[in-house]
Structure 1
Amino acid sequence: MTTSAAPSTGTAPAIVCVGETMALITPTDAALSSAGAATISLAGAESNVADGIAAAGHHAAWVSRLGDDPLGSRIASELSRRGIQVWAERDENAQTGVMFKDPGAEGSSVFYYRRGSAASRMTPGVVSADRLTGVRIVHTTGITPALSPTCRAMVDRLFDDARAAGALVSFDVNDRRPLWSMADAAATLARLANAADIVFVGRDEAERVWGTATASEIRAFLPGCALLVVKDGDVGATAYDRDADPVFVPAPTVEVVEPVGAGDAFAAGFLTATIEDRPLAERLQTGHDAAARVLAIAADMPPLE
């Protein structure tokens, strides 16, 4: 039996993604320390997923808080332009988070300025249970509970409200080391993953956080989630659906321009295929195909056609 989302009803979006999106500053002519020009875009795991699903032709909503500032307006405008429903409160007392990318020959480094951001002030009930009625999937990541104690409480409530509304809960572990201690991350991420219906985790991050070195060890460590997807970079991805035999699909060969955003694209592809009730192997392949498109560009989101 394959875990699948119930049909959406009425005008509800197929998926609701909850989490922080930041303004992204990327120098274009040199390293960050000496650059004279830069671009402004946006970066956020959950909005990346919403974008991938909207691009595939499904209704997607993004929930967060933004500062009542020009960067918040820019993010809301860009996501709306991409066909995403923006359910974001504006906060007059906190700023929109900012991320700087520092390109280098050996890869890009990133620097976050998000402490005390508007999104870190999300509280339980930021999206009402009533508003989730008819939604098929509610998605968030391990970044969100790491932002603040109120965000952690919000995620717990979100899981409960999603279930009450009849939606599947999708959770991408997405550990961000600078945001919290290893002990806090290990315990909280395990608890939330075991409580979710669909879980995405990188084999390498699971080994770093939990000491589980293989896909089968990760499954044994997370018996509570109905559908576990273990991603192993350019090797492939393995899905464990309840007690059925695992399904493995190898990753395609890709000339990588930049890896940032590929995990979000994989989740978007997999969840798109879930909304379309496709077989498990096809969901994994759709995830790989979506990730490959992002690996081949230097941006988190593919440009609009």
Structure 2
Amino acid sequence: MGTVDVLCLGETMALFVPAEPGPPDEVVTWTRTVGGAESNVASHLAVLGLRSAWVSAVGDDAFGRAVVSTIASFGVDVSCVAVDPYRPTGLYVKESDASGSPVRYYRTGSAASGMSPVSLDALALDGVRVVHTSGITPALSDSCLDLMRTLFTGPRDVTLSFDLNWRPRLWADRDPSVLRELASAADVVFVGADEADLVWGIGEPAAIREFLPETHTLVVKLGAQGAVVFEGTAEPVYQPALEVDVVEPVGAGDAFAAGFLFGTLSDWSPRRRLRAGHLRAASSLLTHHDVGPSLPVSFVSAMLDASDDEWAAAHVTTDMT
């Protein structure tokens, strides 16, 4: 693996979405793509111009090759992705219906679930500025939990970024209390207020901050309302979200994290980092793809430094991509 700015670690799977309307048991034609939270962040960062790498494991199968080639196509370094000769690449299905796009996983025993602390041995972290992970990985298996604990508690000279990414189905037979342990050990944490309410029973940003006092930079996402960042002992900073013609919300959180991390590595102010997150999330909201076309550079540049009134009046539409 060459020198990278951000290393993202976590499972990515083959993803099937309906290619025709109707309930899933009647859909005949499906479109195969790929999806994974951490690789989404790596892909967005590469598009933004940073050197990013994605680390995981895939099966020695067609889906694994599709996953790796798709992520590499964004300019992400995939040289440290392991190929497991025994376990398959995981997959999941979006079963679109009138209630939205529920997801069904087929990932038990996947190649990525076989990751362990040994997986860290092949990584050269020299020069890496940020390692980004999420709360999905420790839910995959005991060995993945051991990997996360080793990464978060061992000596390090990198910034650890952690997105809660609550997936209740993955925690059905596991203890989610470890998520607080990991979040408390991270340097940058992203958490949705709705997620925190489900996992920890607290949904107010100030209460979440009290729950995670050790985290240096805590970003609480408030959905369409915006996001607030708590940093050290400084006063919290709130930034409203942009008005967006939403096509699909899936993947917007990963895009937001990438935008915020880009701003962090650019040494931007908290408000500008939040705006960078919102702008990147807006590009994802305009598409069915996890990583879609970017917003015009001129618009992004103008909005990063716009007045509060100009920001509030902005409207992001599908015509802009």
Q: Shorter-normalised TM-score: what interval? A: over 0.9
Gapped regions of structure 2 (runs ≥ 5):
295-320
d(CA) in 2 for partners of 1:105, 1:181? 25
- Residue 114, structure 1, aligned to residue 100, structure 2: no
| Letter in structure 1 aligned against 2:87 | A
Q: 2:131 aligns with which of 104, 126, 138?
A: 138
- CA drift of 1:160 comes to 4.0
Q: 1:29 aligns with which of 15, 20, 25?
A: 20
Find the counterpart in structure 2 of residue 55 from structure 1.
47
- Alignment identity in percent? 46
Find the counterpart in structure 1 of residue 35 from structure 2.
43
d(CA) in 2 for partners of 1:281, 1:210? 27
- Residue 254, structure 1, aligned to residue 244, structure 2: yes
d(CA) in 1 for partners of 2:222, 2:230? 14
Find the counterpart in structure 2 of residue 171 from structure 1.
162
CA deviations 1:144-185 (Å, max 9, x no partner) are 000001000101112245x52x11000001111001148811
CA contact (8 A) 2:153 2:185 kept: no
Find the counterpart in structure 2 of residue 289 from structure 1.
279
The structure-2 alpha-carbon separation of the partners of 1:94 and 1:11, relative to structure 1 and needing over 3 Å to count, comes to closer
| Letter in structure 1 aligned against 2:62 | P
Find the counterpart in structure 2 of residue 229 from structure 1.
219
CA contact (8 A) 2:283 2:293 kept: no
CA deviations 1:242-292 (Å, max 9, x no partner) are 110001000111121111101111001101111111111111001011111
- Residue 93, structure 1, aligned to residue 86, structure 2: yes
Find the counterpart in structure 1 of residue 308 from structure 2.
none
Q: Please report the RMSD computed on the Cα atoms of aligned residues, expressed in angstroms.
A: 1.7
d(CA) in 1 for partners of 2:192, 2:278? 13
- TM-score by length of structure 1 reads 0.92
- CA drift of 1:217 comes to 0.2
- TM-score by length of structure 2 reads 0.88
SS class of match (1:292): helix
| Letter in structure 2 aligned against 1:116 | G
Find the counterpart in structure 1 of residue 147 from structure 2.
154
Q: 1:184 aligns with which of 175, 180, 185?
A: 175
d(CA) in 2 for partners of 1:128, 1:253? 44
CA deviations 1:40-70 (Å, max 9, x no partner) are 1101000000011000011100000100001
| Letter in structure 1 aligned against 2:26 | S
Q: Which moved further from structure 2: 123-132 or 277-286?
A: 123-132
Q: 2:195 aligns with which of 195, 205, 208?
A: 205
d(CA) in 2 for partners of 1:12, 1:125? 21
d(CA) in 2 for partners of 1:198, 1:213? 19
CA contact (8 A) 1:48 1:300 kept: yes
Q: 1:64 aligns with which of 32, 56, 61?
A: 56
| Letter in structure 2 aligned against 1:67 | G
d(CA) in 1 for partners of 2:168, 2:208? 19
CA contact (8 A) 2:93 2:104 kept: yes
- CA drift of 1:13 comes to 0.4
SS class of match (2:43): helix
